[in-house]
């Protein structure tokens, strides 16, 4: 049995125009799932520390590990996660791989998050 839009929204006190606008602006389920995965990456303090380091400068795994007092293996693992989510990019210089933030969107997200926290 399929539920009609009227039945689905019969309990809402919002007017039909507001409901229509919400229905139009709601991203598809797949995009919402991707967005949830994207924001999950920011839910780890180690990854946020790495992103904060990369806000200042591109760096290699060794330097990030030294700065954060962590093992290179732990940093490499987190960088892999960040790279899979397109938050960081890398470039090779000889045998050394340098990591940097992927783009200005990441800087904006980090700065907006920090601004929000600092307001409270």
pLDDT digits (tens, 9 = 90+) for 28-74: 999 999 999 999 999 999 999 999 999 999 999 999 999 999 999 99
CATH number for region 44-119: 1.10.10.10
Whole-model pTM: value is: 0.82
Mean pLDDT to the nearest integer, 100-112: 96
Taking residues 74-103, what's their average pLDDT?
97
- Residue 60, H or E segment: strand 59-60
Per-domain residue ranges of the chain: 44-119
What is the reported pLDDT for 67? 98
119 pLDDT more than 90: yes
pLDDT of residue 33: 96
CA distances from 23 to 5, 7, 8, 30 (A): 10, 15, 12, 15
Report the distance separating Cα 44 and Cα 116, nearest Å.
17
Mean pLDDT rounded to a whole number for the chain: 92
């Amino acid at each position: 049995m399929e539920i009609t839009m009227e039945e689905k929204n019969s309990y809402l006190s919002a007017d039909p125009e507001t409901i229509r606008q919400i229905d139009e602006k709601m991203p598809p389920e797949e995009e919402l799932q991707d967005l949830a995965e994207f924001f999950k990456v920011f839910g780890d303090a180690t990854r946020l520390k790495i992103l904060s380091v990369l806000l200042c400068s591109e760096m290699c795994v060794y330097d990030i590990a030294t700065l954060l007092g962590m093992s290179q293996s732990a940093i490499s693992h987190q960088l892999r996660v960040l790279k899979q989510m397109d938050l960081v990019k890398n470039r090779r210089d000889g045998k050394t791989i340098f990591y940097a933030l992927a783009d200005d969107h990441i800087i904006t997200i980090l700065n907006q998050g920090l601004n929000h926290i600092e307001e409270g």
